[in-house]
Structure 1
Amino acid sequence: KDFFIFSDFGSGQYLELQEKLKNPFMILDHHLPQGIGNKEEKSQIEDIYKKTYRWHLNPYFYEFDGSSEISGSGMSYFFSKCLNEENLDLSIIALIGANGDIQNKGENKSFTGLNSIILEDAKKSNLIEIVNDINLSLIKPLNQALAYSSEINLPGLSGDKNKTLKFIKRLGILIEKSDGSIKALMDLNQEEKQKLTSALIEYVSIKSNIEPNEIINKLIINRYLLKNEKFGSDLHDINEFSNLLNACGRTNNASIGIAIAMGDKKNAYSQAQKKLEDYKKMLVKALSWIKEEGKIKESEYIQYFFGEDVIPENIIGTVSSMLIFNESEHIKKNKPIFGYAKRKDENVYKISARAHDSIIKRGVNLSEAIREALNLSDLDVLGGGHPPAAGTKVPINKIQEFLKNCNKIIGNQLN
């Protein structure tokens, strides 16, 4: 019989897999196991471990947090390392996956927990270099990187690449190349980077009334560069590499992303760059539509939007993430956001929920909330994920009841 490996999936469905799948299988997942609302339910997690450990590998069994300390790719990496110690070269793929799951949440965007062990493997294998750098895209034109940064909010400048270009020029930085194109961050020398850093700290401090130390902590990050990749390419910085692979998946071209991860840096890479441009256009269109048409609706404790015929199911999660995690003035950070889009050929909505760190610290757990809301809505549907990011699918005729129950449960969590 064929042997199945469920990677980045399966823990939330292990009972159904155990009951219905006749083939032998293994689960390598980092999500909370089925029936578990949060990581504090240690005795229940231990019970699941005892029943399933022969074929089910999950970080929560060993008191590691799957939402921040290891991703699905990391779980697969440790499995591959057990098969063959020479698989250390796969450590960089695991880190790219962790970056894609926004798990570089330690100081200066460092990795923690099991991800830090994977990073040590990559360093020992001389595959990765860590540099202190400005928290901007390494390869985008600098004025665009500043204007559209999801990390740095510049009141009066953010969202306007012409204004950010003037801001840079006023610093005395020669921003244009000999061919007339705009330099990227990677083109600046150390002196120019220092000028830019000082100016950004001063500007944000004055405009946003934020202490310089707080700005520095967000502005200066660890950048992870892959030593065997071409300087300035989409594959050199693990953040750009992650964006490229994500674009392949979100545009239904997963095979191209897999080929790149396996080493195809020619044909697959050029195809992926085209998919990345397509993906960016989809996101810009989606975000502009939401903002211009005022599509965000609010309840007392949640906010939500319907993608209609503009935002398809394959990017509803990304759009929800960008709205809640990016520096957006028209989205409230004190309420989780629920995006939903109709699934193709099904009479259901795909739900993607996201919550900002500030309310996770106050007790919001979206994985738990979605499971409870499904139960209150009398829906026998699987759902869950992590405290800041979770999802499910809901019949079209049940969406309002489901959202009403989500609002009630989030209110209970906050209060």
Structure 2
Amino acid sequence: MSLHDDFVDAATKAGKEFVEVAKGKHVALVTHFDTDGLSSAALLELAFDRENISYVTMHAQSLDEIFLDSVFKTDSDVYVFADIGATVLEKISEFANDKLVFVLDHHEPSTNDNLHLVHINPLVSGVTEKNSISGSGVCYFFAMGMNKDNRTLAHLAVIGAIGDSQEDNGFQDLNNRILQHAVIQKTVVLSKQIKLYGINSRPLLKVLEYSSDVDIPGVTNDPKGVKDFLDDLGIMWEWNGRLKKWFNLRPFEQAAITEKILELKGAQEDDSKLLVYAYSLPNAPRREMIDIRECATIINASGRLEQYRVGVNTLKGDRDAAQIASMNLRVYKSAIRDALQIVDDKRAQGTLIENDKLVLIDFENKIPSSIVGIVASILARNKIYREGVVVCTLGETSTDEIKVSLRVSLSAKDFKLQEVLSDAVSKVGGTSGGHDNAAGAVINKDKKEEFIESIKASF
């Protein structure tokens, strides 16, 4: 068997073991708070419901001692950590005592010791490819071990993987297996379309105006150019006083726009980079959630605003929750705009720590700590920074701690941000985790200045 098969075998065996010991018992489920974590929660809750297993669900940004203490005070019979836990296995083991614990994760483990935990992780099975599987993907194979009928939940793992930025015009082996299950179950529809974001949620005029991923000559960032573009094609962008969206267009109009964009791009770019895979949810609770990329963004917003139940219930198909989730996205985007304005203000005031290797922004208590990672990602993708510049963002949590996020700009490779951050955190105390190109940590507030000096010295 391949290493991928070894992992699937380990995950399904763990699922079988779990369902045998959990029936008639109470389960405490703990997941991360982002799209992948909330997808993990929705997937496992539906799998537990299928087996009539009772449970309580909790969500966390990180697993500190106070939170772990509260988890194990639920006095449950079985504990499941999903998309979280691998980076603090020793701590979980300390609190668990002799309780049965399953850790379903894809992050770098803090130890390879057994610790009497059931730890299912592709890295433990030797699967080391970046983006091979998400946390919700691990949960999917675990759920398949519980009951083969859980193949109907594959779409939730696809949402989680896309939310975790694991799709790059296609998926790698394990994620691709899950996608194929979802396609066969008809819970995901796979197609090819021009690389435009917001097709189901934004007016057509805005989709084309903000088409920075494609950068259409004479159209992108040019409102008048957008209207001229559509007028030349004979496509009406308004109907009865309402702005049209992509789905309002007839198929031949969509095709005409696609062909014209490819023509305008000419030899500048390979068509394969402009025509990308699109993943659709035919049973989405709202139209703007049909495109999985947009759905993942909406779910992430609820997680970042700490409205976890809204995100999970939306993923489970609750239309009322989905309406709230869509509204949460607007609030979330406003918070992001405020954060980016703070960056601009700090740069203008000369208070931004910025050099040719590192950009560090301390937001203090001015933005929700749950969005510092997203802001770091946005800044890292911004073309004002050259490839390889590391972006570090800090924000104060409601418990008087500091949330830290590290990202590397553009498509830089061969970075080990998780190792860099782990080293810095080891000097001041706290918890850290993540991947080579994205890492996060939580430290004590009184250690902030010492931490900043340590990070600066690392670059």
Q: Same fold (TM over 0.5)?
A: yes
Could you list the per-position Cα deviations for residues 199-246 of structure 1 after superposition, in whole angstroms to 9, with x for gaps in the alignment?
4445556xxxx8321xx333211111123337x702322112212211
Supply the AA of the counterpart residue of 2:96: L
Distance 1:115 1:25, change over 3 A: same
Could you list the per-position Cα deviations for residues 304-334 of structure 1 after superposition, in whole angstroms to 9, with x for gaps in the alignment?
2122444220111111112213xx3434433
SS of residue paired to 1:228: coil
Which of 77, 85, 88 is the matching residue for 1:13? 88
Query: Are residue 151 (structure 1) and residue 213 (structure 2) matched?
Result: yes
Query: Are residue 72 (structure 1) and residue 129 (structure 2) matched?
Result: no
Query: Are residue 111 (structure 1) and residue 171 (structure 2) matched?
Result: yes
Query: Are residue 131 (structure 1) and residue 191 (structure 2) matched?
Result: yes
CA contact (8 A) 2:358 2:390 kept: yes
Question: Any stretches of 5+ residues in structure 2 without a counterpart?
Answer: 1-74
State the 1:170 CA deviation.
Answer: 5.0
SS of residue paired to 1:340: strand
CA contact (8 A) 1:304 1:339 kept: yes
* Equivalent residue runs for 1:218-367 within 5 Å: 218-229=273-284, 233-265=287-319, 267-291=320-344, 293-294=346-347, 296-325=352-381, 328-346=382-400, 348-356=401-409, 358-359=411-412, 361=413, 363-367=414-418
Q: Which residue of 2 aligns with 1:27?
A: 103
Equivalents in 2 of 1:343, 1:354: separation in Å?
Answer: 19
Could you list the per-position Cα deviations for residues 362-384 of structure 1 after superposition, in whole angstroms to 9, with x for gaps in the alignment?
x2111111012223xx2232212
Could you list the per-position Cα deviations for residues 68-106 of structure 1 after superposition, in whole angstroms to 9, with x for gaps in the alignment?
11111111111111100001111001100001001112x
Equivalents in 1 of 2:218, 2:346: separation in Å?
Answer: 22
Question: Which range is displaced more, 175-184 or 6-15?
Answer: 175-184
Equivalents in 1 of 2:180, 2:116: separation in Å?
Answer: 27
CA contact (8 A) 1:91 1:122 kept: yes
Equivalents in 1 of 2:217, 2:442: separation in Å?
Answer: 38
* Equivalent residue runs for 1:171-210 within 5 Å: 171-201=232-262, 203=264
CA contact (8 A) 1:365 1:388 kept: yes
State the 1:293 CA deviation.
Answer: 5.0
Equivalents in 2 of 1:379, 1:91: separation in Å?
Answer: 41
CA contact (8 A) 1:324 1:332 kept: no
CA contact (8 A) 2:373 2:393 kept: yes
CA contact (8 A) 1:225 1:237 kept: yes
Q: Which residue of 1 aligns with 2:269?
A: 212
State the 1:66 CA deviation.
Answer: 7.1
SS of residue paired to 2:280: strand
CA contact (8 A) 1:100 1:243 kept: yes
Q: Which residue of 2 aligns with 1:141?
A: 203
Question: Which range is displaced more, 87-96 or 305-314?
Answer: 305-314
CA contact (8 A) 2:154 2:179 kept: yes
Supply the AA of the counterpart residue of 2:448: I
Q: Percent identity?
A: 27
Pairwise CA RMSD: 2.6
CA contact (8 A) 2:219 2:226 kept: no
Equivalents in 1 of 2:260, 2:227: separation in Å?
Answer: 13
Supply the AA of the counterpart residue of 1:51: N
TM-score, length-scaled by structure 2:
0.75
How many residues end up aligned between the 2 structures?
Answer: 378
State the 1:338 CA deviation.
Answer: 0.7
Q: Which residue of 2 aligns with 1:40?
A: none
CA contact (8 A) 1:30 1:67 kept: no
Equivalents in 1 of 2:157, 2:416: separation in Å?
Answer: 26
State the 1:52 CA deviation.
Answer: 5.3
CA contact (8 A) 2:361 2:392 kept: yes
Q: Which residue of 1 aligns with 2:5?
A: none
Q: Which residue of 2 aligns with 1:41?
A: none
Supply the AA of the counterpart residue of 1:97: G
CA contact (8 A) 2:79 2:102 kept: yes
State the 1:357 CA deviation.
Answer: 5.4
Distance 1:194 1:280, change over 3 A: same
Supply the AA of the counterpart residue of 2:123: Y
Supply the AA of the counterpart residue of 2:443: V
Distance 1:123 1:342, change over 3 A: same
Equivalents in 2 of 1:293, 1:201: separation in Å?
Answer: 40
SS of residue paired to 2:448: helix
TM-score, length-scaled by structure 1:
0.83
Equivalents in 1 of 2:363, 2:263: separation in Å?
Answer: 39
